[in-house]
Amino acid sequence: MNGTFRPPGLPLTTTAAEGLLRRRFTVAEIEEMTAKGIIAEDERIELIGGEVVPMASKGNRHEMLKAALNVHWARRLPDDLMLVTETTFRLTADTYLEPDFVFYPRASGIKGLSAGTARLVVEIADSSLGYDLGLKASLYAGFGIAELWVIDAVRLVAHVHREPTPEGYRSIVERASDERLVPLVAASLEVRLAELDLR
């Protein structure tokens, strides 16, 4: 963050207003603050219902798994699909998340990426597993994301979420690293986590 606005040593997060009303921000306001240098471009945050939420730091296992999956899927991506990594996934005027992968139809383009066009969202978790399986999974289900994979980067276990409802996903299946993961959107994207080159 720009030192002009923040004194050195002042923590970036606080729970001081817990239980009190807080100002609700919009995605547009966060983007404007980033453009003006108030929020650093590399600051890892998400916006949930207007509240700024810092993201957990990414460990080596997270980055190795993300890189291996990116290579694997880039080689197998059907012509009618696109894949984007760590994008600002705008869900409403006051909510955006930054999933590790989002698959969407090529025809809709990145500008058309929305909850309605996303076909598969993948979150890789090392230190954020509880958050990804809890609040974030509930958000994705509420927005109707057809399929969500939350992959535990430490244990190489995938939690496959399908059949979204406003209350959560009806189907959540845990898959071990040696099991085939086949997304609904394209069988060609099948993967076994145990077979990835995690270097």
User: pLDDT tens digit string along 53-106?
Assistant: 988 878 899 999 999 999 999 999 999 999 999 999 999 999 999 999 999 999
Q: Is the pLDDT of residue 194 over 60?
A: yes
pLDDT, position 100:
97
- Does residue 50 lie within any of the structural domains? no
Q: What percent of the chain has pLDDT over 90?
A: 78
Q: Phi/psi zone of residue 161: left (φ > 0), alpha (ψ -120 to 50 degrees), beta? A: beta
Q: Is the pLDDT of residue 3 over 60?
A: no
- Does residue 13 lie within any of the structural domains? no
pLDDT, position 20:
83
Residues ≥6 apart with Cβ < 8 Å to 26? 50, 93, 94
What the block records as the tokens of 171 is 């189907």
CATH number reported for the structural domain that contains residue 124 in this entry = 3.90.1570.10
Q: Is the pLDDT of residue 2 over 70?
A: no
- Does residue 124 lie within any of the structural domains? yes
C-alpha dihedral, 164 to 149 to 135 to 173, nearest 10°: 70
Give dist(CA 146, CA 139) in Å, integer. Answer: 12
Report the pLDDT averaged over residues 132-141: 97
Pairing type for strands 168-175 and 157-165 reads antiparallel
Domain count, the chain: 1
- Does residue 25 lie within any of the structural domains? no
- Does residue 32 lie within any of the structural domains? no
Beta bridge partners of 161: 148, 172
Give dist(CA 112, CA 104) in Å, integer. Answer: 9
- Does residue 148 lie within any of the structural domains? yes
- Does residue 149 lie within any of the structural domains? yes
Please report which confidence band the pLDDT of residue 1 belongs to, taking 50, 70 and 90 as the band edges.
very low
- Does residue 21 lie within any of the structural domains? no
Q: Write out the residue range of the structural domain in which residue 147 sits.
A: 60-195
User: pLDDT tens digit string along 6-62?
Assistant: 678 777 777 777 888 888 999 999 999 999 999 988 888 999 999 999 888 788 999
pLDDT, position 127:
87
